[in-house]
Structure 1
């Protein structure tokens, strides 16, 4: 018996020689239960954080390049980025706010215009399709989230009316009729409830922008965790008249909330903050 084992044996043995007295048993059981609870809670929090990050990375470009007045000549911008080794894909997008007119109600939504053939290189929205085909985002076709479809009872092939605020006569907005060509389910309720996806050309028409102008360009990297380090390299290429944001920047509030929740675990376990972006 080595020294450590002898010390443990002495502390675990009662004064009258009975092994594991009732008091010692209660003490050990209490420590065991506490450690088990800590491990379980830490595992749940870490798993939740990892799952959330996977969903965010699947629906959000790793890096977004935007400009307040819009990105003009976006094809030229994408061409400049092709020489960056860490970049594996780039896709333009138009994004804005619209209203869904249904049953006499107007529900605010985010509309995103994309090029299906390049969007698949940047996000995984095409992999989240549960009905229809992502490639059918052409003309007046639209793809909506599963939560939005469930809430209003929409089905594939249904017609919906979207209103672009302030674009019509007297600022009343123009109405656009779309056909539901697909439904996606990412697992993120806000995303699945509030986003509608249309073709880039249609979105440009809705918001009255030129064919070579977009809201921004989404970028996919070899590794999403390279996003922070590559920001400066992108700024050096495109200039500081653009705004470069990472997927972490876009979801900063969410990650800050997770970080604060894990602080509670930190006081119980120094490793409790592991896994936070």
Structure 2
């Protein structure tokens, strides 16, 4: 008779209309709090995952995963490139020349990162060829002295496709006019836009053209690599260069971009922790609602005890009730969170269009929309953690109910 008593009465208490409307209100608030907490946490974690994905795709699509270089210039670039490509985890390799310099346009002079690339192999290590607004990567033919500029960089110096700009490098030339900075006129042959910081700081040249300006001869700065695992880029590059003779230096993306990704991960953890407090507060609401319910139902509990219900069965009644309340809130919250994570970009776009506002200015942020990437692991983590909190919140009220003495309660019943 009493085997399913906790489940039966616990579910009956949930469905029944209570005389104390305040207790019903607190229970509803607990469920709504769990629903909102779970939904918002899933949506925010998905947005943070989206930003992390965009950073990896855009910034690390332009920045080499790893580089192999030598002190001074590298004169055997083709040999090093061929050996690096023999490693099964190296997806692409391309020689490069890189330095800081100044670009002189019609509007102003601005500092920039000057990068010399091989047009024929750059697509194996960079997303640059896929993000050209104007021009083509093949325009960077050797001897043409062409340059491709980032969109923001081109606009800031007042340069457009077909214009001539002056490129100054941090080296000096000695001639009959004295000591002068080394410079060369280049023609703007393309504009790229990745949607990241490189749009306002990168100028791309043909490898040999930039090497001539720097008087490298046939040498380059090194080989840039693309690997199959970002977080093992350094170790893969070391393995790829083990058979090389002489001294070689290995570097990876974490040297220049590591702090940015660490900041994103730290923000994700901190925002997740803060929003998790919403779920904890909802758990405390479950405690308070069940404690008040226990007080309200003392007479019924005493009657159950007198007809043979054990303390564990009484505990089970309130554990079932609190757990079901929590489970309902978590299920609804999870569904709303999944729906919100999948549609957040469209919702924000509609709000921007309807109210003529802009959440992310493309001139300030590296992307102009809210990205979202829903991960199954986040859904499981949030849902299971919320359920554990809800279940633990029922223990004290249930224990308190089991300690009620029937004799003490029924003594005062008329």
TM-score interval, normalised by the smaller of the two chains: 0.7 to 0.9
- State the match for 2:321 in structure 1: none
Give the CA RMSD over aligned residues.
2.9
CA distance 1:55–1:257, change in 2 (3 Å): same
Give the C-alpha shift of residue 224 in structure 1.
4.2
Structure 2 gaps, min length 5: 277-376, 379-414
Tell me if 1:203 matches 2:210: yes
CA change 1:2–1:148 in 2 (3 A) is farther
Q: Is structure 2 residue 194 aligned with structure 1 residue 191?
A: no
1:101 correspondence with 2:107: no
Using a 3 Å threshold, how does the CA distance of structure 1 residues 197 and 2 change in structure 2: closer, same or farther?
farther
* Alpha-carbon distance, 1:68 to partner: 2.9
- Report the Cα distance in structure 2 between the residues aligned to 1:225 and 1:182, rounded to whole angstroms: 32
State the distance in 1 between where 2:127 and 2:5 align. Answer: 57
Quick one: distance in 1 between partners of 2:8 and 2:257? 50
Alignment of 1:224-263 (within 5 A): 224=230, 226-238=232-244, 241-263=247-269
CA distance in 2: counterparts of 1:177 and 1:125, whole angstroms: 23
Q: How does the TM-score come out when normalised to structure 2?
A: 0.59
- 2: CA distance between counterparts of 1:47 and 1:53? 10
Tell whether 2:146 aligns with 1:141. Answer: yes
Residue aligning to 2:226? 220
Matches of residues 1-277 of structure 1 in structure 2 within 5 Å?
7=10, 10=13, 16=19, 21-103=24-106, 105-138=108-141, 139-169=144-174, 172-188=180-196, 190-211=197-218, 213-224=219-230, 226-238=232-244, 241-267=247-273, 268=275
Give CA deviations for 1:84-128 in whole Å, capped at 9, x if unaligned: 122232110000011112358431111111110011222110111
Alignment partner of 1:236: what SS? coil
Closer, same or farther: CA 4–242 of 1 in aligned 2, 3 Å: farther
Contact 1:165–1:171 under 8 Å retained in 2: no
**Relative to 1, partners in 2 of residues 1:241 and 1:17: Cα closer, same or farther, differing over 3 Å?**
same
Deviation at 1:133, TM superposition (A): 0.9
Counterpart-to-counterpart distance in 2, 1:141 and 1:21: 74
Distance in 2, matches of 1:35 and 1:5, equals 28
Write the distance in 2 (CA, Å) between the matches of 1:81 and 1:259.
Answer: 31
Stretch deviating more after TM superposition (42-51 or 228-237): 228-237
Q: CA deviation at 1:26?
A: 1.8
Distance 2:23 2:182 in 1: 79
Select the structure that is richer in strand. 1
Compute the TM-score of the two structures, normalised by the length of structure 1: 0.85
Number of aligned residue pairs: 271
